């Protein structure tokens, strides 16, 4: 889904307390903005009608608070 957009670098999935969260890294802000705007509100086949909620991360993927 995300990999078809220009600048896609990687995707990391986490499952916590029954909730799935995906972190997607793009080459730059312009590429991530294009994907965000195109996919916001999309449905996943396995989500039973729930829609994607996409937002920008507060920090870069892979950086822990103590590393910033």
CA distances from 63 to 1, 39, 57, 58, 67 (A): 24, 25, 11, 11, 6
Closest Cα to residue 59, out of 14, 32, 33, 23?
Answer: 23
* Residue 55, domain member (yes or no): no
Do 61 and 26 meet the contact criterion of CB atoms below 8 Å apart?
A: no
pLDDT of residue 30: 96
Range of the domain at 26: 1-39
Number of domains in the chain: 1
pLDDT of residue 34: 95
Give the predicted TM-score (pTM) of the model. Answer: 0.70
* Residue 60, domain member (yes or no): no
H-helix or E-strand spanning residue 44: none
Alpha-helix residue ranges (DSSP H) falling in 1-68: 29-39
pLDDT of residue 3: 92
Q: Give, for all 68 residues of the chain, the pLDDT tens digit.
A: 899 999 999 998 888 888 888 889 999 999 999 999 999 888 876 656 667 778 887 776 665 555 54
pLDDT of residue 21: 84
């Amino acid at each position: 889904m995300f990999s078809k957009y220009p600048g896609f670098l990687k995707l990391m999935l986490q499952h916590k307390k029954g909730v799935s969260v995906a972190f997607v890294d793009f080459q730059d802000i312009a590429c991530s903005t294009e994907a965000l705007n195109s996919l916001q509100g999309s449905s996943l086949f396995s989500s039973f009608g729930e829609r994607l909620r996409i937002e920008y991360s507060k920090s870069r993927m892979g950086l822990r608070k103590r590393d910033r």
